Chain A
Amino acid sequence: MGRYFVKRVLGTIPLLLVISFLIFMFIHLIPGDPVRNMAGREATTEELENLRESMGFNKPLYQQYFSYLNDLVHGDLGISYKTKLPVSEMMIGRLKPTLKLTFFATLWSTIVGIAIGVLSAVNRGKLIDYLGMLIAISGISIPGFWLGLVMIQIFSVKLGWVPTGGLDTWRSYILPSITLGCGIMAILARFSRSSMLDSLGEDYVRTARAKGQRERLVILRHAFRNSLVQVVTVIGLQIGGLLAGSVLIETVFTIPGLGRLLVDSLAFRDYKVVQALLLFFSFEYILINLIVDLLYGVLNPRIRLK
């Protein structure tokens, strides 16, 4: 498995190179001019030209790309046009809140989502099943943005239990984690239910029951473990999305995370930040997919990685 891992990681390098090229071209080809955003509207043509020259925007695009690539190889992500701070420093600063939030949101939504899914599957067609699926449908249907604002009104403004936003104390994590995790909980509940139902219909479950094993063991050891492969895939994809930051949740709860950074930087045409973020998100997706692949082998020994 070690060799497989190294091979896969090395395999990402050419992929990232292609991605870096695509990102660079896209961001430079869409309309917009960071120089105008930096200089403000009152800037004269001459001032704009001076700034453009000093930023190297007058050079041909391919030269700009190679200089970007050169910096990238040397671990230099550049300086943000907007804050004049190093992009790497900004990203690390923004990654922390996003990571914390992702962790808590994933934690609760995975536990609750899978629990609802399993309970619904086991009690198929019964009240618990309908209740579970009602929660799941609500979780998917309620827009996070709206839910966040309503919860702020109830729990922060009216009841005063938790802060409206920020990530200063442990209490400030509660509302954003709940809001962010709702959708994932719902998806996981649906997936684990259907995956569990599939497993429950398998021959080995019938065999286990025929052997006279206790129902709890049949469900947990045989059906549940086998149903996890699909569920893990879904969790992987969802975490990937979460790490790219949830712009809406970060905006509603005033969290300085990666998602907000990406949107703000795009609006400003802060090329260096956008390039670095998109490259990071691509890498992170590749990495998570790799971890998911490795987990398959752990969960189901029949799957061998070559």
Chain B
Amino acid sequence: MYKRKILFVFIFLTVFAFAAQGLLTVSAQSDNAAKAPDQDLVIAFNNDIRALDPHNVSDTLTISATRTMYESLVKFNEKQEIVPLLAESYEISDDGMTYTFHLRSGVLFHDGTEFNSDAVKANIDRCKDESLRQNRIVKQIANAEYPDPYTVILTLAKPNNTFLNKMTMFDFIAPATIAAGEEKILREPCGTGPYTFKDRVEGDHVTVVPFEKYWDGAPQVASLTFKAVPEDGARVAMLQTGEADYIYPMPTTQIKVVEGKKDILIDAKTSNIMRYVTLNTELEQLKDKRVRQAINYAVDKDAYIKTVFNGYASKVYSCYPETIQYYAPQPPYDFNLEKAKALMKEAGAENGFKLTIWGDNITSEEKGMQFIQQQLKQIGIDVDVMPMEANVVAEKIQAERDKAEVNMWYVNWSASSFDADGAIRAILHGESIPPGQYNSAYYNNEEVNKLMDEALAITDPKILQEKYARIQEIVWDDAPWIFLASDQVISGYKSYCSGIQLYPDGAIDCSKAKLN
């Protein structure tokens, strides 16, 4: 009796296993037909879309959605150059104080009203509200003049070379919608963009349809849906079945599995994301520059990129990636254990010491921290990995300076408007030391601070290049961080999709999207 039971269970499990195996290996459908099944473009994201108020968005995914409906005076093109959009042209005065924008004529809002200087005024006036995120742009404007319907003259309180970059983030809402209040803005977005709002199911999707009277020609798809699909495996499966035509981000672990199969193509490019580990320069063990340089030499960046990013990251040669303005590459800290050990010895730290590393408790971040732990062990540094929930780390980083406990922080930074100041000020300026900002290396170099502040007031690109290059040179040599890598932004899409632009910050531009 007992044997029979065992036999039965064995047979059952075997049959089950074979059935599952058989189903899993059903041959992939023929890959010839690369024709779009319909004209409804579905883009699957990893997060929920937040508040649809272009003056108050902070995350890239929501920006991608709002950008289908709203536009700014200037924008970045695919080469990361600032080009006119709702402004036909612009001039900057020599002192960098006055910006004159000549508006494009014949541009309509989705409600049929015309885009003109009155509309610009209504938007600037709205953002005088300090609780709105875009107040940080409007705050810089000391005086705004609107001499005629197609000219806007903005005078800054003090010169700021990032102003134009920031204006790429300033979108325009129809004045009537602004007048109707926030509720209306959130529920019935109305801008000048290529798509008009259709519907939103909170937590699920936002759908937009082409705006027939768009000034640059209406998009060619029938509809565009942004869908929140947080699970990596599910997002990839949706791309495989065709329920989604385009997914972002494409998980690096799955690229090899799906690339080239079922008409799936991959687009990977360098991002504006800088990966680094802050080294608390006020800490006894890390005070000496030579120790921090030794740490940089002891970390094998190629191995890091392979281990943590499956190869989908770029090496960095500065404190910010090449996609940011005024980038100046420095001589690399190539993996060199001998040199690292020599530097440790020179600094009198040849016996090593103990450190902690903090970071978010998500798999990829923990993997990164463990990698650093293994690497630093080679030069005698004993690292205790301490993963924590993101909010907990943020709170601990923001401790009062005399109570700071941070040794190393495994983190990343991305400058949303691609300006050099945005890529460094909040994380390397002496005034950005916590609490407040995120300079958790407690790095305070007078020359760097001064150069950063001077540069803000300069408009000449040549001088800016010099100033920012000098900053990068000093920071690189001072090594307040372990300079690790720059992520790649990766999307997966069906071969019948074209015209969809993925930007280095992960924003997606669908104005020229086509389903062939």
Chain A residues contacting B394 (CB-CB under 8 Å) are 31-33, 36
Residues of chain A in range 1-45 having any CB-CB distance to chain B below 8 Å: 30-33, 36-45
Contact between A50 and B203 (Cβ–Cβ < 8 Å)?
A: no
> Interface digits, B97-139 against A, CB 8 Å rule (1 contact, 0 not)?
0000000000000000000000000000000001101011000
In A169-200, which residues have CB < 8 Å from any B CB?
none
Question: Is B243's CB under 8 angstroms from A164's CB?
Answer: yes
Among listed A104-112, A147-155, A293-301, interface-contacting one: A147-155
Knowing A154-B20, A269-B391, say if A85 contacts B202 (CB, 8 Å): yes
A68 at the interface (CB under 8 A from B): no
A93 near B201 with CB under 8 A, answer yes
B8 touches A39 (CB 8 A): no
Given known contacts A84-B182, A260-B203, A254 and B234 CB-to-CB distance under 8 angstroms: yes
Instruction: State whether the Cβ of A216 lies closer than 8 Å to any Cβ in chain B.
Output: no
Q: How far, in whole Å, are A267 and B59 apart by their CA atoms in the complex?
A: 15
Contact of B234 among A30, A31, A253, A264 (CB under 8 A): A253
Bound complex: CA of A271 vs CA of B184, how far in Å? 24
Residues of A within 8 A of B186 (CB): 84-85
> A90 contacts the other chain (Cβ, under 8 Å)?
yes
The docked-state distance in angstroms from the alpha carbon of A137 to that of B141 is 68
State whether the Cβ of A130 lies closer than 8 Å to any Cβ in chain B.
Answer: yes
Known: A45-B437, A159-B26. A264 touches B9 (CB 8 A): no
Q: Which residues of B contact A163 (CB under 8 A)?
A: 241, 243
- Nearest A residue to B235 via CB reads A254
Interface residues on B, range: 35 or more
Binary interface profile of A, 209-253, with partner B (CB < 8 Å = 1, else 0)?
A: 000000000000000000000000000000000000000000111
B416:A251 contact, CB within 8 angstroms: no
Cβ contacts under 8 Å, B437 to chain A: 44-45
Asked whether B233 is an interface residue with its Cβ less than 8 Å from the other chain, the reply is: yes
- Residues from chain A with a CB closer than 8 A to the CB of B392 are 31-32
With the chains together, A50 CA to B129 CA distance in Å? 10
Given A44-B437, A256-B201, residue A153 in contact with residue B237 (CB < 8 A): yes
CB of B229 within 8 A of CB of A254, answer yes
Chain A residues, CB < 8 A from B234? 149, 152, 164-165, 251-254
The interface bits of chain A over 240-283 (1 if a CB of B lies within 8 angstroms of the residue's CB, else 0) are: 00000000000111101000110010010100000000000000
In this assembly, does B58 line the interface, its C-beta being within 8 Å of a C-beta of chain A? Answer: yes
Contacting pair A42 B426 (CB below 8 A): yes
Within 8 Å CB of A89, what residues of B?
Answer: 202
- With A39-B133, A83-B50, A83-B202 as given contacts, are A33 and B391 in contact (CB-CB < 8 Å)? yes
Q: Are A39 and B48 in contact (CB-based, < 8 A)?
A: no
Q: For A134, give its contact among B9, B204, B240, B436 (CB under 8 Å).
A: B9
With both beta carbons as reference points, the residue of chain B lying nearest to A258 in the complex is identified as B203
Q: Is the CB of A82 within 8 A of B50?
A: yes
What residues of A have a CB within 8 angstroms of the CB of B24 in the complex?
A: 153-154, 158
Q: In whole angstroms, what is the CA distance A54 to B135 when docked?
A: 14
Q: How far is the CA of A153 from the CA of B48 in the complex (A)?
A: 24
A305 to B8: give the CA distance in the assembly, Å: 48
* B202 pairs with A252, CB closer than 8 A: no
Q: Are A159 and B48 in contact (CB under 8 A)?
A: no
Residue pair B48, A264 in contact (C-beta under 8 Å): yes
A156 within 8 A of B: yes
Task: Determine the chain A residues whose CB is within 8 A of the CB of B250 once the complex forms.
Answer: none
Question: Which residues of B are found within 8 Å of A32, using beta-carbon distances?
Answer: 389, 391-392, 394-395
Q: Quick check: is A157 within 8 A (CB to CB) of the other chain?
A: yes
Number of A-B contacts (CB under 8 A): 150
B256: CB under 8 A from chain A?
A: no
Q: Tell me the minimal C-beta distance from B254 to chain A in angstroms.
A: 12
On whether the beta carbons of A256 and B203 are closer than 8 Å, the reply is yes
Chain A, range 81-133, C-beta contacts under 8 Å to B: 82-85, 89-90, 93-94, 127, 130-131
Restricting to A51-73, which residues have a CB under 8 Å from any CB of B?
51, 54-55
Chain B residues whose CB sits within 8 angstroms of the CB of A149 once the complex forms: 231, 233-234, 237
Chain A residue with Cβ nearest B9: A134
State whether B416 touches A93 (Cβ < 8 A).
Answer: no
Give the most central of B9, B416, B435, B437: most A CB within 10 Å.
B437
B238: interface (CB < 8 Å): yes
Contact residue among A33, A51, A156 (Cβ-Cβ distance under 8 Å from B131) = A51
Contacting residues, chain B, for A90 (C-beta < 8 A): 202-203
A164 vs B247: C-alpha distance when bound (angstroms): 14
- The answer to whether B23 has its CB under 8 Å from any CB of chain A is yes
Is the Cβ of B238 less than 8 Å from the Cβ of A165? Answer: yes
Are A251 and B231 touching (Cβ within 8 A)?
yes
User: When chains A and B are docked, how far (Å) is the Cα of A11 from the Cα of B314?
Assistant: 62
**With an 8 A cutoff between CB atoms, is B390 at the interface?**
yes
Which residues of A have CB within 8 Å of B53?
Answer: 84
Residues from 47 to 64 in B contacting A, C-beta threshold 8 Å: 48, 50-51, 53, 56, 58-59
Q: Quick one: which of A31, A94, A127, A150 contacts B203, CB cutoff 8 A?
A: A94
Kindly name the residue among A31, A90, A159, A251 whose own CB sees the greatest number of chain B CB atoms within 10 A.
A31
Contact B438 A41 (CB under 8 A): yes
- A251 to B435 alpha-carbon distance, docked (Å): 35
With A36-B394, A90-B203 in contact, do A164 and B237 touch (Cβ < 8 Å)? yes
Q: Is the Cβ of A157 less than 8 Å from the Cβ of B58?
A: no
Query: Given known contacts A50-B131, A130-B5, A164-B237, is B58 in contact with A93 (CB within 8 Å)?
Result: no
**Bound Cα distance from A158 to B13, whole angstroms:** 22
Chain A residues whose CB sits within 8 angstroms of the CB of B301 once the complex forms:
none
In the assembled complex, the Cα of A261 lies from the Cα of B229 at a distance in Å of 13
A143 within 8 A of partner (CB):
no
Q: Which of B414-462 contact A (CB under 8 A)?
A: 415-416, 422, 426, 435-438
B229 touches A165 (CB 8 A): yes
Instruction: Decide: A256 and B202 in contact? CB cutoff 8 A.
Output: yes
Contact present for B201 and A254 (CB under 8 Å):
no
Q: Kindly provide the distance from the CB of B260 to the nearest chain A CB, expressed in whole angstroms.
A: 16
Please measure, in the bound complex, the distance between the C-alpha atom of A36 and the C-alpha atom of B9, giving whole angstroms: 56
Contact B241 A261 (CB under 8 A): no
The answer to whether B385 has its CB under 8 Å from any CB of chain A is no
Interface residue from B8, B391, B413 paired with A31 (Cβ < 8 Å): B391
- The interface residues of chain B lying within 8 Å CB-to-CB of A158 are 23-24, 26
Q: Mark B24-39, 1 if CB is under 8 A from A, else 0.
A: 1010000000000000
| Nearest neighbor of A263 in chain B, beta-carbon distance | B230
Those of B389-404 within 8 Å (CB) of chain A: 389-392, 394-396, 398
Chain B, residue nearest A156 (CB) = B241
CB distance from B286 to the nearest CB of A (A): 23
Q: What CA separation (Å) do A235 and B295 show in the bound complex?
A: 58
B18 at the interface (CB under 8 A from A): no
Is B227 close to A, CB under 8 A? yes
A-B interface, 9 closest residue pairs, ranked by CB to CB distance from nearest: A32-B391, A256-B203, A40-B58, A84-B51, A31-B395, A45-B436, A256-B204, A54-B131, A50-B130
Assuming A40-B133, A84-B186, A158-B23, what are 5 further A-B pairs, CB within 8 angstroms?
A45-B437, A82-B50, A157-B240, A164-B238, A252-B231
Residues on A facing B (Cβ under 8 Å): 30-33, 36-45, 47, 50-51, 54-55, 82-85, 89-90, 93-94, 127, 130-131, 134, 149-150, 152-154, 156-160, 163-166, 251-254, 256, 260-261, 264, 267, 269
Name 6 interchain pairs, CB-CB below 8 A, sorted by A.
A47-B130, A89-B202, A149-B231, A166-B204, A261-B203, A267-B391
